[in-house]
Structure 1
Amino acid sequence: MTPTRPKRTRLRSKGKANQPSLTDADLKSVEAILGHKFKTPDTLIRALTHPSAVSSADSVRLSNQRLEFLGDRVLNLVIADRLIDRRRLESEGDLAPRLNGFVKKGACAEAMRHLGLSKYLIMSDGEIASGGRERESTLGDACEAIIGAIYLDAGLSTARKFIEKGWAPQFQAPLAEAKDPKTLLQEWAQGQGLPLPDYDVLNRSGPDHAPTYEIQVRVDNRGSAVAVGSSKRDAERNAAALLLKSLTEPK
């Protein structure tokens, strides 16, 4: 007897046979993690679809890029509202770096890891082979897209519940643990009344699946530092740490 195949949930599109999909079981698992059953499941599937899984001609319509754009704005609003409510004695200068710490790609990626959602991302075999399921930028983009999808399907309140769940460990962490060198350098610059740090890519080398970035960071005329990393974000963090050390350590 031939075993039956699991039902597939497909994006609805005109004249396309092989669109990104999830099994019904996977779709239910994702909805259980999110705490929301979608009225329009196609929206959730689109949020999980990396651009590599569709043709370039269909990327705008079928990948998660537009939802990422929306979700980023929703996330900023929810986190800003939360900070205003929880940090009533802090100034805008104090709130801004806290906001940045919670809405950066790394924070979004951490929420995806915390919830175990990376395995449900839909991407090309090549993207998977190059480490796409672990890549911070990919996870961060997908998380923002999921927030945008929830907002479209159920509104701000439901999106807020997902953010509270996904960011729970970060909200509970001591403030020092929630900050990275870029945030600390930004706070130092603001405290000195200086412009925000300026980052420049000096060089990119290596293959696409294992690049090396060389980044320089400057803070006005106070100093600069150069560092490398396996991603732009990592190189920026390393450079920020070096510059912060040189600026704050006793001479």
Structure 2
Amino acid sequence: MKRSAEIEALEQRLGHRFERPELLRRALTHSSMSGPGREDNQRLEFLGDRVLGLVMAEALLGEDRKASEGQLAPRFNALVRKEACAEVARDVDIGAALKLGRSEMMSGGRRKQALLGDAMEAVIAAVYLDGGFEVAREMILRLWGARVSTVQQDARDPRTSLQEWAQARGMTPPAYVETARSGPDHAPVFTIEVRLASGQKADATAGSKRKAEQEAAAALLAQVTAND
């Protein structure tokens, strides 16, 4: 099957030339573009998530041979969650090659975290089916790069840490309140305030509620632990 310039450019960024380029095309096809004779990437996404999980579990065991399961689990989650996959997808500009329906394209689908994360998982599956596990493993470790060795610093969700801090002091869990929203519908910006029963609070602004909540929690956690 003849390759487009777009597919060849993405292959170079991925570091894998497909024997079956139709696998990569399928991995890049969102459900908004599926139809008779054109499969979307949802089944590949399912498989890619499992391939990524195995590679990361193996890598983490090798990275820290003394870590307990309780220490490894949050590191694993940080490496395989949708946000991490979307970050890597942005690094190799998967968004530029996505096949989207008109509505998704008009609503900024090439930049959406969920679509990018799903596509990254689908691409992993495509590489696995095309070249085998070792080829997929090499690509994943190369694309994730230093994230694997530095994940210990970033694995804890600040929302979880703040909640544990509050509970240890007999407080109710922190409350998160959306105080502002701006920007167009396809690229909203949220401001979230997190409050403790003690009256302490902090806020943050980001392009997703989850990110804003995390940043607000991190700010409040830094504030309260400085006084411990």
> Shorter-normalised TM-score: what interval?
0.7 to 0.9
Could you tell me whether the CA contact under 8 Å between 1:54 and 1:63 is conserved in 2? yes
- Quick one: which amino acid aligns to residue 116 of structure 2? L
What secondary structure is seen at the aligned counterpart in 1 of 2:157?
Answer: helix
**Structure 2 portions without partners, runs of 5+:** none
Could you tell me whether the CA contact under 8 Å between 1:64 and 1:145 is conserved in 2? yes
Partners of 1:222 and 1:147 in 2: CA distance: 46
What secondary structure is seen at the aligned counterpart in 2 of 1:108?
Answer: helix
Distance 1:140 1:92, change over 3 A: same
Query: How many pairs align?
Result: 221
Distance 1:89 1:189, change over 3 A: farther
Q: Which residue of 1 aligns with 2:186?
A: 209
Distance 1:84 1:191, change over 3 A: farther
TM norm structure 2: 0.74
Answer yes or no: is 1:154 the counterpart of 2:166: no
What secondary structure is seen at the aligned counterpart in 1 of 2:7?
Answer: helix
| 1:1-251 pair list within 5 angstroms | 24-55=4-35, 62-171=39-148, 173=150, 175-176=152-153, 179=154, 183-186=157-160, 208-211=185-188, 229-241=206-218, 244-245=221-222, 248-250=225-227
Larger mean Cα displacement after TM superposition, 198-207 or 28-37: 198-207
Distance 1:150 1:191, change over 3 A: farther
- Quick one: which amino acid aligns to residue 110 of structure 1? E
Partners of 2:165 and 2:59 in 1: CA distance: 23
C-alpha distance after superposition, 1:103-132 (max 9, x if no partner): 122211221222233211111343233222
Partners of 1:249 and 1:160 in 2: CA distance: 41
C-alpha distance after superposition, 1:39-94 (max 9, x if no partner): 33222111111222235xx69x7111121111111111111100101100111121
Larger RCO, structure (CA 8 Å, separation 6 or more):
2
- Quick one: which amino acid aligns to residue 26 of structure 2? R
Could you tell me whether the CA contact under 8 Å between 1:223 and 1:247 is conserved in 2? no
Identity of aligned residues (%): 40
Partners of 1:93 and 1:114 in 2: CA distance: 30
Q: Which runs of 4+ in 1 moved over 3 A?
A: 171-176, 184-194, 198-208, 210-218, 221-230, 242-249
Distance 1:226 1:212, change over 3 A: farther
**Structure 1 portions without partners, runs of 5+:** 1-7, 10-22
What value does the CA root-mean-square deviation take over the aligned residues? 3.9
